Amino acid sequence: MSDFSSVLICGTGPVSIQMAVLMKKQWNSRIGIAGRTTVRSEHFYNALSSQHQVVRTRVQNALHQMMEGEIQVDEVFHSYESVTGMWDTILLAVTADAYGQVLQKLDTDLLRQVRCILLMSPTLGSGSLVQSYMAALNPAAEIISFSTYLGD
């Protein structure tokens, strides 16, 4: 399993923010966030920029206290095609039907060196589809499917 030293989070929704905080707090990961360029994501990018790339999460009860926190995102990319650098982990915090589209937009050199891909909202067969896509580029990449409840 990856040590999660550098994590590229694909997606700009609430689950992306929650996972960024969790990964930074638990593993001191270098965090990058990438998403599509849409009207909705533009609001996200503007808010992130105005806060100097600081994001916060809050929880409703003490049982989930470890999920609360504030971190600074290390790198922000306004499109998947603009992602640069080396990332050992890719976290797909997008809908399962978008996994293939997102992977196709990422640079193939990035995909060739990634060690782990985390699927946040998988459906039946998602892991196999991602594994098939990665087989020609990087068959050693570990694919981990989380329960959809983690994103909830």
Q: Give tens-digit pLDDT for 83-119.
A: 999 999 999 999 999 999 999 999 999 999 999 999 9
- Note the pLDDT tens digit of each residue in 33-73: 999 988 888 999 999 999 999 999 998 888 888 888 999 99
CA 24 remoteness from chain centre: 12
| Beta-sheet strands, E only, within the chain | 6-10, 30-34, 54-57, 69-72, 75-77, 89-92, 116-119, 142-145
Q: Please state the rounded mean pLDDT for residues 127-142.
A: 96
105-139 as b/e, with b when 16 or more CB fall inside 10 Å?
Answer: bbeeebbeebbbbbbbbbeeebbebbeebbeeebe
Query: Which candidate, 88, 85, 73, places its Cα nearest to that of 11?
Result: 73
Reply yes or no on whether the pLDDT at 150 is more than 70. Answer: no
Q: How sure is the predictor about 77, in pLDDT bands with cuts at 50, 70 and 90?
A: very high
- β-strand pairing of 89-92 with 116-119: parallel
With contact defined as beta carbons under 8 Å apart, do 120 and 92 qualify? yes
List pLDDT tens digits, range 8-37.
Answer: 999 999 999 999 999 999 999 999 999 998
- At 152 the pLDDT is 52
**Confidence category of residue 2, pLDDT binned at 50, 70, 90:** low
pTM to 2 decimal places: 0.93
What is the structure's pLDDT at 1? 47
Compute the distance between CA of residue 55 and CA of residue 112 in angstroms, rounded to an integer: 30
